[in-house]
Structure 1
């Protein structure tokens, strides 16, 4: 006899959100870009569509904007609490700096044995070009209202006061990052300084308490929710212009610059 109750029984579904790329505001980077505006709708759909038993974040990001990292993570936590759902993070190549901030939105974090995690710090890089323009007879003219308006202008000699101001600002962001990690990871963290900006590979991250285990999306979710578990991947919606490959000359130039910056971020981790 056919067991109709068994046939009608809904299979457990895990909603999957892929978070790939550099984290930045607006259209800052070419290729995959992560920011609260671009990810909001698919995060909302993942938590709200059907009745998932859990939500999985698949993360591959070298970081970027601290503010956007915090906004995305906060949205995930708010929805998880509203819906009463557990969130799992699965780190691929890299979940470092802002990418790790995203991972902390999860209740449990898993990584591949070769994944790079951590980099809990703040960095600012630039160039000093004042001698270059001087050699070429170029005069820099800047007019400001407010003596600190041209903080760290690359076309003038570096000022000690600018460096001190920048480090103070970085210190605030670094403390916010540390608070996020401590609040989310709690007593799972190893009793040593994990906030120097150092990175950890695979089992090192587990031993440090930055991750809960070595594991991949499908086998871990099957172990937790059964062999019949299904996966609903929430994809980003493409704009009309991008569907037809339309792009202006200005956008192409911006994209070239952004590509260089994005590659520099990935390059920190040998990728």
Structure 2
């Protein structure tokens, strides 16, 4: 009987200790989870605080307007909505430059192969408006390339400076694409495209293009091309030495562009600031999409994709 009692006591002690160990282990695990959760929350707060600091520090510089200077706005890369050379960013920079009392002139520093005629037209209009409002001279300085939509913008300047080897011109409009209808027939593939509207799918590469659609597209391109031509003529005036090739879409070296009246002089940014504006101090007003903004955009895209997965398919109005 004594042995049985001792065994019962020993079993009770073992169970109690085991339960205590399990309880303490569970509590320890819960504390660890809470600590890690708190740590990651603090990390996220610090991360977003860093992004906000980067956004204010890099995206909105405050130039020193106390002394005379040459204001510079860069137009680089593709001219397109959402790009660094978009009308929104370029025009915001231009307004800041023109409104600064210390800015003696505004220089467009251009290195772009072109892009959207819509974005270029908006920028061209804003340059002309700001020139008339603030009565400040505007100079375009071309680095490697000033073609197509970039030249559309440049002609709003009072004078265009180029390097002798710069590429200038390409005054034309294009709409490109591919057609795979013959290949599909050879492969025995049937295109099943349903539209509401006779011409809704006429840019679809897997559908044949009719003569009517081709004529319509060409008429639209011709109209946009004429708008481009009118802007160039208005900007260059009697300096332009028009030839049959001027508006053909060809491009020329900087040296040739001067001879054709598409540009005015040879010169770099430093040359224009020093010799033309007479103010060697250069302040860059360009608005750039900084690291914080890119991370915010990627975060927004990821959130949008997650939300899109919860939606059902619906017809597109593109």
- On whether the aligned pair clears a TM of 0.5, the verdict is yes
> Cα distance, 1:233 vs. partner?
0.5
Partner residue in 2 for 1:144: 195
Which is bigger in relative contact order (C-alpha 8 A, separation at least 6)? 1
Partner residue in 2 for 1:180: 231
Mapping 1:64-83, distance limit 5 Å = 64-83=115-134
> Cα distance, 1:52 vs. partner?
1.0
Supply the distance in 1 between the matched residues of 2:270 and 2:285 (Cα, whole angstroms).
16
| Residues matched between the structures, number | 236
Unaligned runs of 5+ in 2: 1-65, 305-318
RMSD of aligned Cα (Å): 2.3
Partner residue in 2 for 1:168: 219
Partner residue in 2 for 1:214: 266
> Cα distance, 1:139 vs. partner?
2.8
> Cα distance, 1:137 vs. partner?
4.5
- 1:55 aligned counterpart, secondary structure: strand
Supply the distance in 2 between the matched residues of 1:205 and 1:250 (Cα, whole angstroms).
48
- 2:111 aligned counterpart, secondary structure: strand
Q: Deviations over 1:82-137 (max 9, x none)?
A: 11111000011110110110111101001011101111111111111223344444
Supply the distance in 2 between the matched residues of 1:71 and 1:107 (Cα, whole angstroms).
18
Structure 1 counterpart of 2:78, from 12, 17, 22: 22
> Cα distance, 1:151 vs. partner?
2.1
> Cα distance, 1:153 vs. partner?
2.0
> Cα distance, 1:18 vs. partner?
0.3
Alpha-carbon distance change, 213 to 82 in structure 1, aligned in 2, over 3 angstroms? same
Structure number with greater Rg is 2
Mapping 1:1-271, distance limit 5 Å = 11-25=67-81, 27=82, 33-193=84-244, 194-226=246-278, 228-238=279-289, 240-242=292-294, 246=298
> Cα distance, 1:154 vs. partner?
0.8
* TM-score, structure 2 normalization: 0.69
Contact preservation (8 Å) 1:152, 1:159? no
Alpha-carbon distance change, 151 to 249 in structure 1, aligned in 2, over 3 angstroms? same
Specify which structure has the higher proportion of strand: 1
Alpha-carbon distance change, 62 to 138 in structure 1, aligned in 2, over 3 angstroms? same
Unaligned runs of 5+ in 1: 1-9, 252-271
Alpha-carbon distance change, 13 to 117 in structure 1, aligned in 2, over 3 angstroms? same
Specify which structure has the higher proportion of helix: 2
Supply the distance in 2 between the matched residues of 1:79 and 1:235 (Cα, whole angstroms).
16
- 1:158 aligned counterpart, secondary structure: coil
- 2:103 aligned counterpart, secondary structure: coil
